[in-house]
Amino acid sequence: MTYTDATIWGIIAAIGLGSWAMRYSFMGLLGGRELPAWVLRHLRYTAVGIIPGLVAPIVLFPSATDGAIDPARLAAALVTLGVGVTTRKIFPAIIAGALALALGLSL
């Protein structure tokens, strides 16, 4: 499929405008207002809902191995999960996962 330069720039402009509109709807329109308690309660779970969706495909179908499950990445994900659940802190979990991945890929 071949696109003209004008079509590509139109797509880039549309995506940029859509991104700006989504961010402005929260920061520009609601920035100075107090949000209801139920909205704040639901916003606390945003990261919990998004991060697994971003991480799971990378762990289960890594592009570095052409989609085959890689034991090093799977072990690093399990170490990260274990440290995160145990300590309930993000930075020790990230560091432990990174070290486990580096160790697993070096073997």
CB 19 within 8 A of CB 11: no
Question: How many structural domains comprise the chain?
Answer: 2
Q: Identify whether residues 87 and 41 lie together within a single domain.
A: yes
| Interval 10-37: pLDDT, tens | 999 999 999 999 988 877 777 778 888 9
pLDDT at 25: 85
* Predicted confidence (pLDDT) per residue in 62-75, tens digit: 988 898 999 999 99
| Residue 25 CB neighbours (<10 A) | 10
* Same domain (yes/no): 61, 41: yes
pLDDT of residue 20: 93
Domain housing 77: 37-106
Mean predicted lDDT score pLDDT of the chain:
91
64 and 96 within one domain = yes
